[in-house]
């Protein structure tokens, strides 16, 4: 709705008709959403008050998550190095076989698949490896 004499959000809310709740189910869903919003707001208020009163627990939590991030970063770095090592071995082996050398991998050896490993450094440090994170 476009009104020439409405300049603020509050004025627009005053002029706009209430949301249409066509059925009892719509009203129930609206009521449930309003209740969840009130619970979330109260939860945020109580959490802020708890954090204000328990500074030592807040400091412990920050230290915990800092250690967790460091361990996660170390683990991802080690996994990347392992992928690079496996890919280098598979690539060198493929080059050896292509040059007429003898294979030391069996025909159905999973190490042949290591040639296709991604060794990109374009990973985000906050990436948890979950490929479905963009679907949320």
pLDDT in tens, 33-53: 999 999 999 999 999 999 999
pLDDT at position 122 is 55
Q: Residue 136: pLDDT band by 50, 70, 90 thresholds? A: very low
Query: Is 76 contained in some domain?
Result: yes
CA dihedral 19, 31, 13, 40 (to 10 degrees): -140
Helix 55-98 vs helix 24-53: crossing angle, to nearest 10 = 110
Lowest mean pLDDT among 64-78, 89-103, 119-133: 119-133
Q: Residue 23: pLDDT band by 50, 70, 90 thresholds? A: confident
Question: What is the overall mean pLDDT for the chain?
Answer: 83
Query: Is 54 contained in some domain?
Result: yes
Calculate the CA 45 to chain-centre distance: 25
Query: Is 55 contained in some domain?
Result: yes
Query: Is 85 contained in some domain?
Result: yes
pLDDT at position 128 is 54
Closest CA to 104 of 92, 116, 119: 92
Query: Is 31 contained in some domain?
Result: yes
Token pair for residue 64? Answer: 């915990």
Query: Is 65 contained in some domain?
Result: yes
Token pair for residue 39? Answer: 């619970």
Query: Is 87 contained in some domain?
Result: yes
What percent of the chain has a predicted confidence (pLDDT) above 70? Answer: 85
Looking at the 3D structure of the chain, how many domains does it have? 1
Query: Is 112 contained in some domain?
Result: yes
Distance set, CA 69 to CA 35, 74, 88, 107, 128 (Å): 35, 9, 28, 40, 10
pLDDT at position 121 is 62
Instruction: Return d(Cα 24, Cα 15) in angstroms, integer.
Output: 25
* Enclosing domain of residue 65: 25-121
């Amino acid at each position: 709705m476009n009104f020439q004499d409405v300049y603020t959000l509050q004025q627009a809310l005053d002029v706009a008709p209430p949301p249409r709740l066509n059925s009892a189910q719509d009203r129930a869903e609206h009521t449930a959403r309003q209740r969840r919003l009130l619970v979330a707001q109260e939860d945020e208020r109580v959490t802020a008050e708890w954090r204000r009163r328990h500074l030592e627990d807040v400091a412990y939590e920050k230290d915990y998550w800092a250690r967790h991030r460091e361990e996660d970063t170390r683990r991802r770095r080690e996994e990347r190095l392992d992928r690079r090592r496996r890919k280098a071995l598979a690539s060198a082996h493929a080059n050896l076989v292509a040059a007429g050398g003898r294979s030391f991998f069996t025909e159905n050896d999973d190490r042949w698949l290591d040639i296709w490993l991604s060794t990109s450094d374009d990973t985000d440090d906050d990436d948890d490896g979950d490929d479905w994170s963009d679907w949320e």
